[in-house]
Amino acid sequence: MSSTLSHLECAKCGARHDADIEQHLCACGRPLLARYDLKRASVLLNAAVLVQRPMDLSRFRELLPIRDPKAAITLGERMTPVIRLSGGWYVKDEGSLPTGSFKARGAALGVARARELGAEDVALPSNGNAGTAWSAYAARAGLRAHIAIPAAAAENYAHECAEFGADVQIVDGTISEAGRLVGSWVAARGYYDASTLKEPYRIEGKKTLGFEIAEQFEWRVPDVIVYPTGGGVGLIGMHKAFEELHALRFIPNRMPRFVAVQSSGCAPIVHAFNQRQPVSTSWENAHTIAYGINVPKAIGDFLVLNILRQTGGTAVAIDDADIIAARRRTAINDGVLLCLEGAAAFAAAERLTKSSWICENESVLIVNTASGQTQV
Ligand SMILES: *Cc1c(COP(=O)(O)O)cnc(C)c1O
């Protein structure tokens, strides 16, 4: 047993929960975060140990929740590349992960841990990529996946989930309505609720994104990380990864400035950040071509807003037309085809450079959260 998982802690009220039984939200309604015995982890995990390990998701297994290493579920995930663009910025390109997006990180860990805790049916709402990733890993693990997909999301995602044998339901409305349907399944049929941040382990998978970035930047973090934000799990995950790596003395006590990027058609986090609100309000009539970030109200919004403020970060909304134009520019200038969400992040970095919020000599990392190939 190499995981040093010790307990779960409410992200809001701090209440402590048992990590070895199925858990979802805290009694106060907020997400739970996995906590580790960092002292023991720091004895078990160091640079000398790391060099002997494969470049896969289990590389930092002491800081991951799977109790039995044999319970891991893999579709051959490898550390994703960091590509330097001609302008000097870096792109962490997540498109090569199984099912074509960084949702694979959350699904690999989330499904494995759900199975380890005895789940047989996992249910979640999804705009697309989480649905395909959870469908694939559930198929791999022998679990049944039940996915609610908003009608507004791309139709081909529903077909892809069904190919993996998932039970797929198309829902009128956005991810919020799809989430309500999943809630009713969970209540009536006892499915394991795998909705964003309604179980504590998807974020642990997303943490591996932060582990990889720190290692690829030779144990310094970039000055600025620009992240297309929907539910915010990737951003919360990266921040948590850097905190834990610092506790283990892998990196100094310095966080990047995090930038949350949304579409102008659905920008609740940007609005709340600008209004200095601690939480967001649900965005009316949400619409954007960047499905992955079409989330009108995120349950972890307060965590994202905290991280933006604590790290001196910011939040930016980009028009769909500018997303498409930015995607074309990186394709032509650099041969890098970003996904629409990644292109939004790139456009945000351009805007922040123009306004001198980002300085010329700063290292800037743009997270390209999915393959550009699957979107037109
Ligand atoms: C899910 C998704 C996002 C947003 O991720 P969160 O962690 O929910 O903020 C961004 N881009 C793509 C392509 C996605 O699928």
Closest CA to 102 of 122, 80, 123, 83: 80
Q: Of 93, 102, 202, which is best to mutate to test ligand 1, by the most ligand atoms within 8 angstroms of its C-beta?
A: 102
Task: Tell me, in angstroms, the distance from the centre of ligand 1 to residue 230's CA.
Answer: 5
Average pLDDT (53-66) is 97
Give residue 375's pLDDT.
Answer: 54
Give residue 374's pLDDT.
Answer: 62
**Integer Cα distance of 158 and 180 in angstroms:** 18
| 39 CB burial (10 A radius; 0-12, 13-18, 19+) | exposed
- What's the Cα-to-Cα distance from 332 to each of 217, 295, 327, rounded to whole Å? 26, 30, 9
**Integer Cα distance of 130 and 208 in angstroms:** 16
Average pLDDT (144-151) is 95
Q: Which of 58-67, 173-182, 194-203, 228-237 has the lowest mean pLDDT?
A: 173-182
pTM more than 0.75: yes
For residue 177, how far is the Cα from the chain centroid?
21
pLDDT tier, 376 (very low <50, low <70, confident <90, very high otherwise): very low
Backbone angles phi, psi at 165, to 5 degrees: 85, 10
Task: Tell me, in angstroms, the distance from the centre of ligand 1 to residue 268's CA.
Answer: 15
Q: Is the CB of 131 under 6 A from ligand 1?
A: no
Average pLDDT (247-269) is 97
Closest CA to 70 of 112, 33, 101, 13: 112
Q: Where are the alpha helices (DSSP H) in the chain?
A: 38-44, 47-50, 103-116, 129-141, 155-163, 175-189, 202-216, 233-247, 268-274, 301-310, 320-334, 340-354
Average pLDDT (247-265) is 97
Q: Which of 91-95, 135-139, 156-160 has the lowest mean pLDDT?
A: 156-160
**Integer Cα distance of 60 and 3 in angstroms:** 9
Give residue 154's pLDDT.
Answer: 72
Q: Is the CB of 234 under 6 A from ligand 1?
A: yes
pLDDT over 70 (residue 100): yes
Task: Tell me, in angstroms, the distance from the centre of ligand 1 to residue 253's CA.
Answer: 27
Give residue 153's pLDDT.
Answer: 77
Q: Is the CB of 195 under 6 A from ligand 1?
A: no
Q: Helix, strand or coil for residue 193? A: strand
Report the percent of the chain where pLDDT is more than 90.
94
Q: Of 147, 369, 373, 374, which is best to mutate to test ligand 1, by the most ligand atoms within 8 angstroms of its C-beta?
A: 369
Q: Helix, strand or coil for residue 51? A: coil
- The string of DSSP letters for 330-370 reads HHHHHS--B-HHHHHHHHHHHHHHHTTSS-TTS-EEEEE-B
Report the percent of the chain where pLDDT is more than 70.
99
pLDDT over 60 (residue 174): yes
Residue-averaged pLDDT of the chain? 96
pLDDT over 90 (residue 125): yes
Q: Is the CB of 106 under 6 A from ligand 1?
A: no
Average pLDDT (66-86) is 96
